[in-house]
Chain A
Amino acid sequence: MNKNIRRALYEDALQQVLDNRVFRLLVILVLCLVAPTFLIGFHSDHISLLWFWEYQYSELTLGLGIPIPADVRPDELLIKGMQTVVIDGLAGMIGIIFCIAATAFFVPRMLEKGAADTLFAKPVSRTTLLFTRYCSGLLFVGVLSVALVGGMYLGFALVSGYTDTGFLWSAITLIYLYAILHAFSVLVATITRSSVAAILLVLMMFSLSGCVHRAWIFKEYSQETTAFKVLRAEMQEENTFEDDSEDSLAITAITNILNGLHYTLPKTGDATTITKMLREAVEGMGPVFEDTEGDVVIKDDPAGMRLVGSSTPDFSSPVTWVPESGDADSRQRLFLLRREREQPPSESGETVRRLVSSRVASSFLDELEERDERGELAASPNKERQMFGGGRRNRGNQLIVVRWEEGSSNDAVRRARFFFHFSDWLYEVDISMPRSSMSDEGYDEWESDFFYGLRLGKDQFLGPMQWYEDEFGWNSPWKYNAYFSIFTSLSFALVCLLAAVFRLNRYDF
C-alpha cells in the first residue's frame, strides 16, 4: 500500500470522526470537565476560585459537615477524588458506552449497498478498509481521552501545582478498554450490518464480561479463603478446620463454565486496576519488598530507612534496612529473616515438629533470659502477642514479639524480635533502635507503620474485590497476572477482528 493510499485512509478516518455530531458533543463535555481544573486551584490550606476568591478547607468542609482527617492533604484528596470520578466513573463507564454508540455505525454504513460498491471497488483490500474503520473508532476515543486526561493534568499542574505523571496512563487504559469493546462491535456490525445490533450486543458483552469477572473473583476468593482457613488454623495451632467437602457435578460444571468464560472473555474489569498499577509504577508506589515465594509483601520502607540489596531476595542472608542518612546511629537497623518450617529428622531418626512462631519465640525468650541473668541486658525481655496487617478495620494476622534492651542505661538500644509463620515459612523481624534516635511514642508509631504495611499476600481479611486487587499484579501467578489479563483481552479483540475480516472477505456486494 503506497503512502497516498495510507494518507487517504487516514484523512477519511479523520473526517468521519470530525463530522460526527456525538463526537462534537463529547468534545464539549470534555471541555466542561477540564474547565474546573483551570478555574479551581487546590492548595494545601485553601481552594482558590477563578484566582480571586479563596476559601479555607475548614470553611467548606464544616459547611458540609465533613471533617477532613488531620493526616490527609486535602488538596491531594480532592484532586485524586476528581480524577477518580471523572476517569473511572464518567469516562471509563458512561463515556465509553457513549463512544461505542457513536462509532457503532462506522462499519454498517460502509457495508450499505451503494457505499460498499463504491469503496470496495478502490484498489484497497477489504481487510485494510475494515481496519481503517476500526482505527477511526480508536482515533475518536483517542482524541477525547487525550484531551480529557491531558487537559486535566495540565489544569491541575498550572493552577494547583499538582503534577501526577502516572495519571496520564489513564488515557491509554481508556483507549485499551474501548479497543477491546470496539473490536467486538466491528465483528457484530460486519456480521449483522446493523449498528443497533452492534450497540446492544456490545453492551451485553460488556455487562456479561463484568459479571463473569466478578463471579470469578468471588469464586477464587472463596476457594482461596478456604485454603487460607487451613493456614489460619495452623497458625493459631488450633487445627480444627477440615476441608473435606467434595464439590458436586453441577458445581464442578458451573466452575468450569465460569473459568472458561473468564479466560475467554476480555477482562474489562481489570482496566481500572491496571491504571492504578501503572500509576503506582510511575509514582514509585509499588511495594518496596516482595517475597514472591513466601507471599510476604512490604509496602513501604520503615521511616528514615532504606533497603539494602534486592527487593526480591532469596533470603540466603537477612534482608536488611539501614538508616537513610549517613549521620544516623549505625546501631539502628532492621532485619527480615525467613526459614523453612519443615525440619529434617533428628540424628536419632525422630520426626521433628514443624516450626511454629510461638515455640520459636519461647526458645528465643529462654536464651535472652539466660543472658539477662548474666547481666548482659539493659532491660529484661518480655514476650507478647500482637496483630498486624489486614487493614485498620480487620484483626489482621498474629505475631509474637519479644522485646528487650541492650547496652548501658544511658545509651540503651531498644531491641525487638517479631515471629510469625505463614504457609511453609517462618519469618523473623529483628529491630535494633537506639533510644536516642526517637522517643517511645515515636518508636511505637514507627513500628506500627512498618507492620501496617507488611502484608501476607493472601490476606483473607480483605473483601473479594480488594483481595483481587491485592492479588492482581505484574508479577502475580498467571491467573492474577496483569500481563495475562492484557494478553487475553487483546487476543479476544484480535480474534474478533480476524473473524470480522473472514466474514467480510466472503461477502458478495
Chain B
Amino acid sequence: MSEPLSAPILRVRDLHKVFGKSLFKKKGFPALCGVDLEVGRGQVFGLLGPNGAGKTTLIKILLGLTRGWSGEAEIFGRKPLDPLSRQKVGFLPEAHQLPPYLTGRQVMHLFGMMAGADSDVVKARIDPLLERVNMATSADRKIREYSKGMQQRLGLAQALIHEPEIVFLDEPTDGVDPVGRASIREMVLDLKSRGVTVFINSHLLMEVEMICDHVVIMDKGKVLVQGSIDELTPRTGAVEIDLSESPEDLEETLSDLGRGFTRRDSGFQLELNEDELDKVIDRLRQRGLSIKAITPRRLTLEQAFIGLIKEDQPGMRP
C-alpha cells in the first residue's frame, strides 16, 4: 500500500522467531512468521496489534535484545547483533527500570556517554531535555524515589539524550497523566520535524492516530497491513453536514435521498452516493438552511484495526 522508500534506515526481510524451541522441545511458539518491513527517515511509525502479535519481539530483535531469529534484519546498514547498530538508536522499553542507585541527572549523563557522546555535550543537553519532560526539579533525586509517571518521563528523556536518528517507544504514555501525554505527543512531533524516525508501539489507538503518519498492523507474527493513516482509514461513504439550524422536519425533507439519516447537535449524518450530495445541498438551500460544513466520514483507526483483526481471527467477537 505504501510507496517503497529510497533510503531505508531499517530493513527487515522474512524475519522469523520461534520462542521456547530447544533440544528437547522441537516445536516452540512462533512469535514472528516472515515479517517484511522498511522504514525511512523522518517517519512516525505506529506499530499496532493485539497482545502476542509480535510487535515487541520485532523491536527487540532490531535492538539486539532477542536472538536466535532467522531472516534478514538491519538497522543503519548493520546487523542488530553489532552494538554499533544501536549508536543512533533511542529506546524506551515498556515497564522499564532505570538504575535505582543513580539520580535522574546521572542516568541522563551516563546513558548519554554509553551511547558514545562526549560528557560535555551530554551535560549541555540534560537540562533542556529534563525541562521538556517536566523533570527538571526532580533531576537530583535518586530513581528509587520516583513515581511510575516520573520514571516514564525520565525514560523518554534518556532515550533522546544522545540525539538518536531512530527512536523506539514501547507504550510511551503508560502511567503518564494527560498533561504529560500531551507533552510526549509534542515531543514526538518535534522529533519528526527534525527528521528523526519514531517507532511507537501502543494500544492507545487514538494517540497513534493523532501522531503517526504511518501504521503497521501485526497479528500472529505477521504484518497484516501497513500504510499511511489515510490509507488505513478509508472513507465510509457517509458525510456529516453541519447546519446553522436544524429544523424538526429535516429527515422528511431528505427522505428520498441517501440512507441512515442520523440527527446530530449541529446537523445530521447521511450515507450518500457520489451524485446524491449535490441533490442534498440543493434541497437544503431550497429550504433556506445555511450549510456550515460538509465532512466526509472515515473509519477511525480503531474501527479499521478491529476490522482487520476480526478478518484475521474469524472467531473473534467485536
Contacts and interface: CB of A to CB of B under 8 A. Distances in A.
Bound pair: A and B?
yes
A363 interface: no
Interface of B: 19, 60, 63-68, 83-87, 89, 91, 93, 95-99, 101-102, 106, 109-119, 142, 155, 158
Nearest to A12: B110
Contacts of B116: 2, 4-5, 123
A11 B65 CA distance: 24
Interface in A1-50: 2, 4-5, 7-9, 11-12, 15-16, 18-20
A509 B114 contact: no
Contacts of A244: none
Contacts of A7: 113, 119
A117 B91 CA distance: 9
Contact of A508 (B66, B86, B109): B66
A507 B101 CA distance: 25
A63 B102 CA distance: 54
B96 A122 contact: no
A121 interface: yes
Interface residues of A, number: 31
Nearest 7 pairs of A and B residues by beta carbon: A19-B101, A8-B113, A117-B93, A114-B97, A115-B97, A121-B91, A123-B86
Interface string A333-372: 0000000000000000000000000000000000000000
B83 A123 contact: yes
Contacts of B142: 19
Contact of A8 (B65, B89, B114): B114
22 contacts: A11-B113, A12-B110, A15-B101, A15-B110, A16-B99, A20-B101, A112-B97, A113-B95, A115-B96, A116-B65, A118-B91, A118-B155, A118-B158, A120-B65, A121-B91, A122-B111, A122-B114, A123-B87, A123-B115, A125-B83, A505-B67, A507-B67
Given A4-B113, A115-B99, A118-B96, A124 B66 contact: no
Contacts of B60: 117, 508-509
A114 B96 contact: yes
A506 B68 contact: yes
Nearest to A110: B99
Contact of A509 (B65, B83, B102): B65
A2 B114 CA distance: 9
Nearest to B121: A4
Nearest to B87: A123
B113 A121 contact: no
Contacts of B64: 120-121
Contact of A124 (B93, B106, B114): B114
A114 B113 contact: no
B79 to A, nearest CB: 13
A121 B110 contact: no
A422 B66 CA distance: 67
Contacts of B119: 4, 7
Contacts of B93: 114, 117-118, 121
A154 to B, nearest CB: 30
A19 B142 CA distance: 10
Contacts of B102: 12, 15, 19
A118 B114 contact: no
Contact of B101 (A16, A122, A124): A16
A126 to B, nearest CB: 9
A115 B101 CA distance: 12
Nearest to B122: A4
A5 B109 CA distance: 11
B150 to A, nearest CB: 15
A497 to B, nearest CB: 19
B221 to A, nearest CB: 15
Given A19-B101, A114-B93, A120-B64, 19 more contacts: A8-B110, A11-B110, A12-B102, A15-B101, A15-B106, A114-B96, A114-B97, A116-B65, A117-B65, A118-B98, A121-B86, A123-B87, A124-B114, A125-B83, A505-B67, A506-B67, A506-B68, A507-B67, A508-B67
Nearest to A17: B101
B114 A5 contact: yes
A5 B110 CA distance: 8
B63 to A, nearest CB: 5
A124 B84 CA distance: 8
Contacts of B109: 8, 11
Interface core residue of B60, B112, B113 (most chain A CB under 10 Å):
B113
B19 A508 contact: yes
A304 to B, nearest CB: 62
A427 B85 CA distance: 73
Interface string A88-120: 000000000000000000000000111111101
Nearest to A112: B97
A122 B158 CA distance: 11
Given A12-B99, A114-B95, A509-B60, A4 B87 contact: no
Contact of A121 (B65, B95, B97, B117): B65
Contacts of A4: 113-114, 116-119
B114 A123 contact: yes
A129 to B, nearest CB: 9
Interface in A46-80: none
B73 to A, nearest CB: 15
B84 to A, nearest CB: 6
A12 B114 CA distance: 10
Contacts of A12: 99, 102, 110, 114
B114 A9 contact: yes
B88 to A, nearest CB: 9
